[in-house]
Amino acid sequence: MSLTYVNQILPSLFSGAWMTIRIFFWTLVGALPLGVLVSMGLRSRFSPIRWVLNFYVWLMRGTPLLLQLMFVFYGLPDVNIVFARYPAALFAFILNYAAYFAEIFRGGFAGIDHGQYEGAQVLGLTYTQTLRKIILPQVVKSVIPAVGNEVINLVKDSSLVYVIGLGDLLRAGNVASARDVTLVPLILVGIIYLLLTLVCTYALRGLEKHYSYYR
């Protein structure tokens, strides 16, 4: 593994990694809040809302993300919804991940003792105040491990964007590997993925620790 060769391909790997990181970041920014909203809708008293959202979750979790990506980019133009590659990828990723997060958050909400709502009600707090100050902080704490798993998955899932022609980390490695007939770029790609998941793991540990001040 000559150092000059590594130096020569690293810039293209880094620019691929940058795409991976962007998709990772914006998917989380979109899918986490959306997941919270959907999870609240899944607990709605209004049954049509529950029905629609359950269908959405089923659809997103019941089909491969790869298929969803292809559908958004190649299928939706047939009904005159046209996305460029990058927004198409974000759209599919956010919708997909929000469904997984919604299920996790639904479990988190279900785990909160009903007494917490009643305790707040008899103090005169509104439902929104109760959610913000009492329920959500406890839900967030309880879902960190499960959300963490999905976050690590997302780092690797982001490589699926190759199917709609986006140049991410894995694709950059693939291109170099095929062109130069060597495995070196793929080894470097593996190392970069490991570093990215390592950063995520530490960030999640930190978050868990931050919330460990109470039980």
d(CA 76, CA 88) in angstroms, rounded, equals 10
| The two structure tokens encoding residue 117 | 């709502």
Nearer to another protein by Cβ, of 46 and 214: the residue is 214
The CB-of-129 to another protein minimum distance in angstroms stands at 5
The CB-of-171 to another protein minimum distance in angstroms stands at 43
141 binds another protein (CB under 8 A): yes
Give the residue, chosen from 64, 119, 165, 206, that forms a contact with another protein under the rule CB under 8 A.
119
d(CA 97, CA 114) in angstroms, rounded, equals 28
Site size toward another protein (CB under 8 A) is 21
Give the residue, chosen from 79, 124, 181, 209, that forms a contact with another protein under the rule CB under 8 A.
124
Window 156-215: residues binding another protein (CB under 8 A): 213-215
d(CA 57, CA 20) in angstroms, rounded, equals 25
Kindly write down the DSSP assignment for every residue of 99-159, as one continuous string: HHHHHHHHHHHHTS-HHHHHHHHTTT--HHHHIIIIIHHHHHHHHHHHHHHHHHHHHHHGG
The CB-of-36 to another protein minimum distance in angstroms stands at 17
DSSP 64: -
Rounded-to-10 torsion of CA 93, 97, 98, 103: 160
The CB-of-143 to another protein minimum distance in angstroms stands at 14
What are the start-end ranges of the E strands in the chain? none
Give the residue, chosen from 1, 7, 113, 181, that forms a contact with another protein under the rule CB under 8 A.
113
133 binds another protein (CB under 8 A): yes
List of residues contacting another protein (CB under 8 A):
113, 115-116, 118-126, 129, 133-134, 137-138, 141, 213-215
